[in-house]
Amino acid sequence: MGLGCWQLGADWGQVDESDALAVLNAAADTGVNFFDTADVYGDGRSETLVGRFLRERDDANVFVATKMGRRVEQLPENYSRENFLAWNDRSRANLGVDTLDLVQLHCPPTAVYSRDEVFDTLDELVQAKRIAAYGVSVETTEEALAAIARPGVASVQIILNALRLKPLEQVLPAAAEAGVAIIARVPLASGLLTGRYTAQTTFGADDHRNYNRDGAAFDVGETFSGVPYEVGLEAVERLRPLVPEGVTLAQFALRWIVDQPGVTVVIPGARNADQAAANSAAADVAPLSAETQAEVRAVYDELVRPLVHDRW
């Protein structure tokens, strides 16, 4: 289990600094040693908070993955050496490190995957010890497969959860064969898979679960995994009886991802320390049975597949 740090930056409602640091510390205290952030989360706020944590908790030995590329208009030509160097300098300053553990291109335009100069520059950053490794965060399975085919790519970050099963078909097997790590993001479908939301739930104006339901700000697949909210609620009610006694629905959903062959790390976010600790505990849940796995797939096939499978 890792920790996603988008919530600590922006787009999920306000999380004050003390709560954000409490999330980071609670995750580390429960054994989490992989934090995922990005230079655009709160315009650097998330990276800066993680950097403060690193200074204050040098005993935690946390691996930090960040991302770059979303600070400019999304044109392939903006993924340039000049911009890479500037973004790299900014992230290293925010995090307070000389070498970034992992830098991921942040859901770049599809054309970027075929530009050799992009990956040549990333190789240069590794050689210069500005970064230790690089990967790609993707929107589609086709982009994931293109990234996996690049010899220097160390990781692919992709949406994977009980409402988004397509990566199981080709992406995870291809990554395993190539020795590429899989970072599973949006594991709780923007909170749908916690089971806490209802048709009456409202989200704040600064929460992407309000303003991005139709993809107005960024890819709609990042919000509720692209599943219409009402359909997601119905799927959750179908999944709820499958949850073992003593396990929360969120832990069940996270355990489902952990059980998929080829997954390296799962990165649920948290807005408070209790959520962070509860998510971490999913690693201790017993593996799900083959029967339960089949039931999850049946819910997906009936309710969700027609709406999302061919889109991403």
pLDDT value at residue 13: 67
Q: How far apart are CA 155 and CA 146, in angstroms?
A: 12
The string of pLDDT tens digits covering residues 93-105 is 999 999 999 999 9
**Whether residue 12 has pLDDT greater than 80:** no
The stretch 111-125 carries a mean pLDDT of: 98
**Whether residue 10 has pLDDT greater than 80:** no
What is the arrangement of strands in the sheet containing 63-68, beginning at the earlier edge strand? Answer: 3-4, 34-36, 63-68, 102-106, 134-137, 153-159, 181-185, 265-266
pLDDT value at residue 9: 85
**Whether residue 165 has pLDDT greater than 90:** yes
Query: Is the whole-model pTM more than 0.75?
Result: yes
Q: Where are the domains of the chain?
A: 3-308
**Whether residue 235 has pLDDT greater than 90:** yes
The string of pLDDT tens digits covering residues 39-95 is 999 999 999 999 999 999 988 899 999 999 999 999 999 999 999 999 999 999 999
User: SS3 for 21?
Assistant: helix
**Residue 120: pLDDT band with limits 50, 70, 90:** very high
DSSP-assigned beta bridge partners for residue 66:
103
What token pair was written down for 184? Answer: 């599973």
Q: How far apart are CA 213 and CA 188, in angstroms?
A: 16
Are the CB atoms for 47 and 91 separated by under 8 Å? yes
> Pairing relation of β-strands 134-137 and 153-159?
parallel
**Whether residue 149 has pLDDT greater than 90:** yes
**Whether residue 15 has pLDDT greater than 90:** no
- Who has greater pLDDT, 219 or 12? 219
Q: How far apart are CA 267 and CA 4, in angstroms?
A: 5
Range 3-308: architecture per CATH: Alpha-Beta Barrel (3.20)
Q: Minimal CA–CA distance to 209: which of 227, 193, 190, 196?
A: 190
